[in-house]
Structure 1
Amino acid sequence: MADQMQWANALSNRPSLEAAVTDVVERAVKSLAAPADLGIVFISSAFTSEYSRLLPLLAEKLNVPVLLGCSGGGIVGTTLGGETQELEAEPALSLTLAHLPGVNIHPFYLEADDLPDLDSSPDNWVNLIGVPVTPTPQFILFSGSFASGIADLLQGLDFAYPGSVTIGGQASGNSGGRIALFHQNRLYREGVAGVALSGNIVLETIVAQGCRPIGQPFQVTKGDRNIILELDEQVPLVVLRNLIASLDEEDKNLAQHSLFIGLAMDEFKMSLQQGDFLIRQILGVDPSGGAIAIGDYVRSGQRLQFHLRDAKASAEDLEILLQRYQLQHQSSASAIGALMFACLGRGESLYGEANFDSQLFQRYLHNIPLGGFFCGGEIGPVSGSTFLHGYTSVFGICRALEGSN
């Protein structure tokens, strides 16, 4: 029988880091029952003072050629009882181990100064990463305080590796802001720790932005960088006030604190619907001029629609995407493992209950080992391009290439 791809995850909430490491290593190794080729570790910010001890403790008990991960404000994984849990604001350690026959596993670490200019040739990006364009690699990235460069990196990877899939998240920490990135045997505080997987592997994604559109789409008729100066040749703030006035009381209240902009991703799609937008924050308004500043660049001719976010919208959005995935992949049993990258603004603070996103995922994709963390920003593709998101849940589902029909 051919050597098959395998995936295992273990989550521990032991308050002692030594005990937690022992717990996850023993359980993940036993569950995998094959040599581990890749390890991915997530550690709770409750262990902030002990980040530097994690890799030496793992090295004592675990032999894996490629190991990376980061810290998170909340940690996702599989408990001893086999349940998937999201442990927020408490000690937690999640270890994913993967046996990946036929897969080339190439770890890399980057700093902002390493990146080529965006007008550089694809070859410069390929040389930077150190992985050929074919077979098409799949990327998993963990970013630190790299906000200025992460968008350029994602754009560069999309440019140099057409057809590749990139997922991941920005490491998060405690209120003091200390984070950790783990790459092989080293601890970093900034940059990007990544791995390129190429060969007999496919990463499929679900990117749930958790918003619902309100009103109708508008066209940007005048803009400057990230500032909307005209919508349908009208003052943007006037357009927005008229829209809010047309809402029911519940949505009017929601618009006071949970209003977002959705930028249409497909310029040629005539009828836009939920999921066709890249969700961005509204950063501020100019009461005198009526302009609206958002968390992305805008251009004349671009279509957008205002959106609202709440627990109901987030739940419905994720469920719609899971249902769509299930319909498109009737043989979902061939999926062998998954990673989850959720915003710190989701979880129990959004839903009022624990484990919501992960348990909804498991309802549609049964018994798939799932590990992940709560991020400062989530990395995932929308309409073929990769972005850094906020308030989003990104799932990366792994399967062997020959099992991906």
Structure 2
Amino acid sequence: MGNRNRSSPSSTTPKLIHNIGFSLINDDLLQNILSRLPATSFASAASVSRTWNAACSRILCCPKLSSAISINPLPHVALQEVFDKVMSEPIRPHFAIASVGPGFEFKDVLPFMVKKLGSRTPIILSSVNGILGRDALTHEFREVKWIGNTVEEVPANTGIVLTVGYLPGLKVDVIPLLQKRKVSQGSLIDKFVMDIEDYTSSVSGSSSPPAIIMIGDGSVDLKPILEKLDFAMSMETIIVGDERGQFVYRSSDASRNVSTNQKHSPDAVALVFARDGNKVHGIGNIEFHFAQSIGVSAIGPRLKAASVRMQDSCTVTWLTARREGQQEILDGQQMLEDIDNEMENNMDCVDLYIGVTRRRNCSVGSDKPRLMTTLALHGVEGGDSEYLYVDGVGIRTGDYFRFYHPDPKTALSSTKNVSSALGNLKLEWDCLNKGTVVNAIDKREAFGGFIFACIGRGESFFSHHNVDSSPFLENFPGIPVAGIFCGGEIGRGCMSLTATGGEEEEGSARCHLHAYSTVYLVMSYAPLEH
């Protein structure tokens, strides 16, 4: 009874401290105190006075990524656990990405996120096949899958990974690709690409952002979308994400928030990271780095499509082929028998793909068309005495293709090469930071990252746990990293960090939708020299 009128410490502490003159304490001590506050209290403290606001700004002078996972069987408890963890330290959310298991309801999660982070914070919420990250309670790194041979058994399917980012010097927002009736898909894709360009230009003066995280609807073919993005964006723009997801989103621009409108349902959504043209003086530079572990190997000879058929109501392509330099036409059964012999009668145990080299003219809007060469992977559905049946469309008579199969040895070797490449990058930064390199212009270090791994990988693929996460865990063990297991991995970026081989064997052909691969996005920061 005696305590019933007593205010809670969290609501009165900043006011009491200010009223008793504690605002006059040493700046270092003030910063030390403020840096220990959780994000919500930190935001309140920043509004106490100009002195406190300046101290808070000094604390958040560098970018920050905060991430956590929870597999608590109660969805509301798991959601609260990850929020408590990611918001346990000072941060000003510039964006949030949450990925959940099938046990979650979007209608419960998105309003919670908006309430906690504010209606102006860009948010993407997706349902995925698995998650990677550090446990909110134990800090143990975990890889969790919910379909196929699970890495960890999670019967309730209620896992969640949440990442919140603060990126001074960048502007971040969500751009949707909206589906509209009576409008051609080509026109909608053009508008989507131009929306990204327009947003980026409006905040940075450049039409190409440094990075995009993209989630596609599982029922939509992302190949033409990524081909147009590849055409329009500079070579430096990194694009990563999940080809086949289910998602809802929240943009800082309210006019884009039509994800629940059936007349304008989104086919894809892009979280765009653009340079801030009005960056505050003294803020350093954030860079994005791309790496990829290949997971498939080519098998059999190069073939040329002899005839191609498809039905308007079907997304399966029927084709026959010739071996390169030969006239005999091969049906589906012949092609599959040849591959089965190559694999020593082991074909039934693995997924099979064909990688089609496509040379097509591409353009966006009124831009002049340009010939582009891409490698498109199509899952093999089967074959008979007439045709080979493959998933997807866009194959033409005369296109060349090869068969590909998942290969754990290739994937493991490729992952080790990625880890070595990241290790060399870290070593280069360490040399710069120690001043051992002549004419070193900045000091750089990683502060966070994302992983997009194929659902077919994981412990069941490698017979070892945490292989897909190993490049981060071995080279950047202390930084926040979050990941998901995808139905199809999006990966477009500079190949300097990528272990080549497998699907990249087609020379100049560029592949942006992958199979059995893991895509890595590393974020680094270099403060300005004073």
2:173 equivalent in structure 1 = 106
Q: Give the CA deviation at 1:104.
A: 1.4
1:142 is matched with which residue: 201, 215, 226?
A: 215
Instruction: Give the letter for the 1:394 counterpart.
Output: V
1:194 is matched with which residue: 270, 278, 285?
A: 270
Contact 2:305 2:400 in 1 (8 A): no
2:323 is matched with which residue: 231, 243, 247?
A: 231
1:176 equivalent in structure 2 = none
2:159 equivalent in structure 1 = 92
Q: Does 1:320 align with 2:392?
A: no
CA spacing shift, 1:325–1:241, aligned 2, 3 Å: farther
- State the identity %: 22
Q: Does 1:51 align with 2:106?
A: yes
Q: TM-score, normalised by structure 1?
A: 0.78
Whole-Å separation in 1 of the counterparts to 2:351 and 2:102:
27
User: What is the root-mean-square deviation in Å for CA atoms of aligned residues?
Assistant: 3.7
CA offset digits 1:314-346 (Å, max 9, x no partner): 323332333344445644672221112222222
Q: Does 1:78 align with 2:78?
A: no
CA offset digits 1:12-48 (Å, max 9, x no partner): 12222332222212211235x332211111111122x
1:273 equivalent in structure 2 = none
Whole-Å separation in 2 of the counterparts to 1:171 and 1:294:
14
Contact 1:108 1:194 in 2 (8 A): yes
Specify which structure has the bigger relative contact order, considering alpha-carbon pairs within 8 angstroms and separated by 6 or more residues.
1
Q: Give the CA deviation at 1:395.
A: 2.0
Contact 1:9 1:97 in 2 (8 A): yes
CA spacing shift, 1:198–1:314, aligned 2, 3 Å: same
How many equivalent pairs are there? Answer: 380
CA spacing shift, 1:280–1:117, aligned 2, 3 Å: closer
CA spacing shift, 1:135–1:100, aligned 2, 3 Å: farther
Report the secondary structure of 1:58's partner residue: helix
Contact 1:342 1:393 in 2 (8 A): yes
CA spacing shift, 1:328–1:192, aligned 2, 3 Å: same
Q: TM-score, normalised by structure 2?
A: 0.61
Instruction: Give the letter for the 2:417 counterpart.
Output: I
Whole-Å separation in 2 of the counterparts to 1:204 and 1:228:
40
Instruction: Give the letter for the 2:103 counterpart.
Output: A
2:522 equivalent in structure 1 = 397
1:368 is matched with which residue: 479, 493, 501?
A: 479
Contact 1:21 1:58 in 2 (8 A): no
1:271 equivalent in structure 2 = none
Unaligned runs of 5+ in 1: 173-178, 268-275
Q: Does 1:334 align with 2:445?
A: yes
Instruction: Give the letter for the 1:143 counterpart.
Output: G
Unaligned runs of 5+ in 2: 1-57, 147-153, 276-284, 310-316, 361-373, 430-443, 496-508
Report the secondary structure of 1:136's partner residue: coil
Q: Does 1:257 align with 2:329?
A: no
Contact 1:135 1:198 in 2 (8 A): no
CA spacing shift, 1:181–1:354, aligned 2, 3 Å: farther
Instruction: Give the letter for the 2:97 counterpart.
Output: I
1:30 equivalent in structure 2 = 88
CA spacing shift, 1:285–1:121, aligned 2, 3 Å: closer
Report the secondary structure of 1:46's partner residue: coil
Whole-Å separation in 2 of the counterparts to 1:303 and 1:213:
13
1:387 equivalent in structure 2 = 512
Whole-Å separation in 1 of the counterparts to 2:178 and 2:272:
16
Contact 1:206 1:322 in 2 (8 A): no
1:162 is matched with which residue: 234, 237, 248?
A: 234
1:204 equivalent in structure 2 = 289
2:378 equivalent in structure 1 = 280
Report the secondary structure of 2:469's partner residue: helix
Report the secondary structure of 2:139's partner residue: coil
2:66 equivalent in structure 1 = 8
CA spacing shift, 1:36–1:100, aligned 2, 3 Å: same
Report the secondary structure of 2:451's partner residue: strand
Contact 2:295 2:515 in 1 (8 A): no
Instruction: Give the letter for the 1:157 counterpart.
Output: L
CA spacing shift, 1:109–1:307, aligned 2, 3 Å: closer
